[in-house]
Amino acid sequence: MDITFKDVSYIYQANSPFAHKALENLSFHIPSGSFVAVIGHTGSGKSTLIQHLNGLITPTKGIVQIGDYQLNAEKKPENLKELRSRVGVVFQYPEHQLFDETVAKDIAFGPKNFGISETEIQRRIKEIVPAVGLDEKLLDRSPFDLSGGQMRRVAIAGVLAVKPEILVLDEPTAGLDPRGQREIMDMFSSLHKEQKLTTVLVTHSMEDAVKYADHVIIMNKGTKYMEGTPEEVFTQREALNQVQLDVPEMIQFMKAFEGRFGHAITFKRQSIPSLAKEIRQALKGAESLE
């Protein structure tokens, strides 16, 4: 499903002394099947943006188009429940939303709420549990007897069981150790490709954005500050510094290497082994000229 924001503004507590404009004339287009990272410091409007994606809030001004569904200031769409069945949102610390007595019941809650048959729910559970890295033996356990990482995977499975076409990830690795962060993001990347999802990742991690996203939107004070491919955005260090952001560590290293050895390596989202190979070749070339 495509996502389009057209001149979207949103004001919290409008027409009151406490009015706060969180988004202002925000426009962008996310093609179906994209993996987009939304980045910005606290207060930039990221959370307000993603709340529009499944109709938790509607624009004060402008239009949000999600596939065939339109949200505007005049009225919410009549088929809002249907929209929410097609947009899955994984909020920060999703394990805090677990509540049922078994893992299986917790995963089943979402699809059951959307009227999916019990037979289909059980089929989906069998399909999704291994996809999120859980053992089927855990299905009859209480989710509160699991580790923190397992609880998060149960919560994610509950979102995926609804079979969304758009997956919204709000800081999905918050609170995890480095290994857990990598495993969760690799899982989302695999799901994105296998299920041909449109994925929107809200993150503070420039490293995750550069590794997984094919498009980047930088937010600042409720507006779109920059937009483009990771190659286009993350090489603009001065522009990023203006909004208290920095370039990913890999690009910092490449710039430091150029300053030390006088050899520029073009950033093209290389893997670490590929970058190491380019560095070896550059150093061998420098040695041959001596």
- Render pLDDT for 94-117 as a digit per residue (tens, 0 to 9): 999 899 999 999 999 999 999 999
Q: Which residue has the tokens 């390596």?
A: 265
Residue 262 is predicted with a pLDDT of 84
If one counts every other C-beta atom within 10 angstroms of the C-beta of residue 29, the result is 13
135, two tokens: 């053992």
Q: In angstroms, rounded to a whole number, what is the distance separating the alpha carbons of residues 37 and 214? A: 8
The C-alpha R_g of the chain, in whole angstroms, comes to 21
Residue 289 is predicted with a pLDDT of 47
Pairing of strands 215-220, 198-202: unpaired
Contact 180, 127 (CB under 8 A): no
Residue 218 pairs in a beta bridge with 39, 226
260, two tokens: 């030390």
Q: In angstroms, rounded to a whole number, what is the distance separating the alpha carbons of residues 238 and 221? A: 18
Q: In angstroms, rounded to a whole number, what is the distance separating the alpha carbons of residues 55 and 84? A: 7
Q: Biggest alpha carbon distance in the chain?
A: 73
Each domain of the chain, given as residue ranges in start order, spans 248-290
Low-confidence ranges of the chain (pLDDT < 50): 289
Q: In angstroms, rounded to a whole number, what is the distance separating the alpha carbons of residues 239 and 225? A: 9
pLDDT in tens, 60-99: 999 999 999 999 988 767 788 999 999 999 988 999 989 9
Contact 112, 121 (CB under 8 A): yes
First-residue to last-residue Cα distance in the chain: 56
